[in-house]
């Protein structure tokens, strides 16, 4: 991917921390090269760890606030000044009409007018991630006004690492070697998400993926993307 002062990148993530895991290094590179980046979170990110019926509890509200504050701090490190937080429960994306997800994304596209959209991949296991992909696919149909010319999916290590068949096959690699420390600094804003190796969302797990994608492309560390559409 080539970034310039004319680049307007919209990251559509299911919930906070996906932006760092999937494309934190790429966001840093884009901002450093003069691009404008906006991040859109469709959901809150903690409900999957709570039993149904406890979403009004004080503990849930506290954990949600911690996740939101972590996201704001992470985005500051990444150099992102424009962001949007959705309030829907991530564990109930499939209980909601997908049209509501599509409409939220369409509205953001009309506001922001992105040249590039980065989002989840169809192959992901997490239902909120997969539905985010499907909603982006519909919202970015080329006949829509201000539809982005370039759409790519990113890789989230927690979703493809334990499936029976790993399907994510990147065809674009972004060298993040020079921004690696900053990416990890942003990741560490998400207290409670980092667990001991071999859990995928551990420092070692995240580094292993970056080095593996680097090995695939002759780089020290890289983030992999799948090009979904590019209109020239």
pLDDT given for residue 162 in this prediction = 65
Per the structure, the count of domains in the chain is: 1
Residue 106 lies in a domain: yes
Q: Give the separation between CA 11 and CA 136, rounded to whole angstroms.
A: 10
In a domain, residue 1? The reply is no
Q: Does residue 60 lie within any of the structural domains? A: yes
Asked if residues 199 and 157 have their Cβ atoms less than 8 Å apart, the reply is no
CA 173 to chain centre: 16
Report if residue 3 sits inside a domain: no
Rounded to an integer, what distance in angstroms lies between the CA atom of residue 12 and that of residue 117? 7
**Per-residue pLDDT, 161:** 58
Per the CB < 8 A criterion, the answer to whether 161 and 25 are in contact is: no
Evaluate whether 125 touches 164 at the Cβ level (below 8 Å). no
What pLDDT shows up at residue 69? 95
User: What pLDDT was estimated at residue 201?
Assistant: 87
Return the CATH number at 188.
Answer: 3.40.50.10320
What pLDDT is recorded for position 58? 85
Rounded to 5 degrees, φ, ψ at 55 are: -75, -10
Q: How crowded is residue 23: how many other Cβ atoms within 10 Å of its Cβ?
A: 31
Residue 219 lies in a domain: yes
Range of the domain at 220: 8-230
What is d(CA 221, CA 25) in angstroms, rounded to the nearest whole number? 10
In whole angstroms, give the CA distance from residue 109 to residue 117: 9
DSSP 3-state assignment of 33? coil
User: Tens place of pLDDT for every residue, the chain, 232 residues?
Assistant: 778 999 999 999 999 999 999 999 999 999 999 999 999 999 998 877 777 777 778 888 888 899 999 999 999 999 999 999 998 998 888 888 999 999 999 999 999 999 999 999 998 888 899 999 999 999 999 999 999 999 999 999 764 556 677 688 999 999 999 999 999 999 999 988 888 888 888 999 999 999 999 999 999 999 999 999 999 9
Tell me 150's DSSP state: E
Q: Residue 53: CB partners within 8 Å, gap ≥ 6?
A: none
Identify the three-state secondary structure at position 57.
Answer: coil
201 found inside a domain: yes
**Cβ within 8 Å of residue 180, ≥6 positions away:** 25, 210, 221
2 within some domain: no
CB 70 within 8 A of CB 190: yes
**Residue 16 falls within a domain, yes or no?**
yes
CB-CB contact of 156 with 21 (8 Å): yes
Strand partners, 229: 151
Residue by residue, DSSP assigns 87-126 as EE-GGGGGGS-HHHHHHHHHHHHHHH--SEEEE--TT-SS
């Amino acid at each position: 991917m080539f970034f310039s002062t004319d680049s307007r990148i919209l990251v559509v993530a299911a919930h906070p921390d996906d932006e760092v895991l999937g494309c934190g290094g790429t966001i840093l590179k884009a901002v450093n090269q003069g691009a404008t980046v906006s991040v859109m979170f469709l959901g809150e990110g903690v409900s999957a760890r709570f039993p149904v019926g406890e979403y009004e509890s004080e503990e849930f509200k506290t954990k949600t606030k911690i996740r939101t504050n972590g996201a704001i701090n992470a985005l500051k490190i990444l150099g992102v000044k424009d962001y949007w937080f959705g309030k829907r429960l991530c564990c109930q994306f499939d209980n909601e009409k997908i049209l509501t997800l599509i409409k939220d994304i369409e509205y953001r596209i009309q506001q922001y007018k992105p040249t590039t959209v980065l989002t989840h991949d169809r192959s992901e296991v997490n239902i909120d991630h997969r539905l985010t992909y499907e909603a982006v696919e519909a919202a970015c149909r080329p006949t829509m006004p201000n539809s982005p010319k370039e759409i790519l999916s990113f890789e989230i290590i927690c979703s493809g690492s334990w499936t029976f068949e790993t399907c994510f096959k990147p065809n674009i690699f972004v060298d993040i070697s020079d921004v690696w420390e900053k990416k990890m600094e942003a990741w560490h804003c998400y207290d409670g998400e980092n667990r001991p190796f071999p859990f995928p969302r551990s420092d070692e797990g995240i580094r292993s993926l970056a080095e593996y994608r680097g090995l695939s492309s002759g780089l020290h560390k890289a983030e992999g993307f799948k090009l979904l559409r590019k209109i020239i």
